[in-house]
Amino acid sequence: MKLSDIIEPGSVSISLKPDSSEQLLREIASLASTAKPLRNISKETIYNALSEREKLSSTACGHGVAIPHCRIPEMSGFVAGLVVLSNGIDFNASDNEKVDLIPFVIGPEEHPRTHLQLLSSLAQVFRNDELRSNMRNAETPEIACKILLDTASPDKDRSAQPGKKLLHLFIQDESVFDELLQVFATAETTSSMIMDADESTRYLMDIPFYAGFWNTDIQHFNRIIVSVIRNELVNATIRNIEFICGPLSERTDIMITVSDLHSVHGSLES
């Protein structure tokens, strides 16, 4: 599902002036209630669902961005929108920055995977410094929405042949693992999984012949993300990874391998 399929003009605003996070959520509930999937659901129900989700943990994700979201059983589809504030408000962000860019997602209870994919897509898009700057300078809701959708649209490589690749991402830097994992939570990748891994030194140090070469206290973070990705999305995926961790050519704790898949049967979408 694409953001462009579920964002309606009436769900985008750059003129709201809430003075608290509670008021902001009420304004979002009011905006969202005009969308078709929510027209039979009261604003109070929408607000309560957003508020209850916020009580679990703040949906602020840093750099002045928060992504309020919730699931409502009675909904017939997804609704997404965007609020841009002229003055930021406190949203209990971990970086203590006030929030002024607030995309939001409200979806039905029975589609958690799609909900996660939409949230992850938004989180990736709003890591873009240029997007945040341009959106804060947007003079109309239409311009703000266009900035979001243009950035969220995946690159099209017209020369790519149809097919899929097998991508392995090896990670030894625990500080970026959560962010890198979000790259693979979007609707554009399929059949991803995570594997814990041990370095060979763990086994070699137990062999008497190699005794004394390594300290038995040495323990490194090792994870491998394995994902099946469409050919035309490989370059965009690598760019998203480098956006988080910098040029891979300068890293000694992150590595990517991409292999051709000559035959693929089945999937791991459940």
Domain 3-152, architecture per CATH: 3-Layer(aba) Sandwich (3.40)
User: What average pLDDT is seen over the chain?
Assistant: 86
Q: Delimit the domains of the chain by residue range.
A: 3-152, 164-260
- The CATH architecture annotation of domain 164-260 reads 2-Layer Sandwich (3.30)
Asked whether residue 175 carries a pLDDT value surpassing 80, the answer given is yes
Strand spans (E) along the chain: 7-13, 60-62, 65-66, 69-72, 79-89, 99-108, 164-171, 189-196, 223-230, 254-260
Tens-place pLDDT, residues 98-154: 999 999 999 998 888 888 888 888 988 898 899 999 999 999 999 999 999 888 765
pLDDT at 251: 93
Residue 5 carries which side chain, given as an amino acid letter? D
Model confidence pLDDT, tens digit, residues 217-245: 656 789 999 998 888 888 888 988 998 89
Confidence of residue 212 (pLDDT cuts 50, 70, 90): low
Distance CA 50, CA 24 (A): 10
Model confidence, pTM:
0.69
pLDDT of residue 215: 62
With a cut of 90, say whether residue 183 has pLDDT above it. Answer: no
Q: How far is CA 224 from CA 115, 151, 180, 239, 255, in A?
A: 24, 28, 11, 18, 10
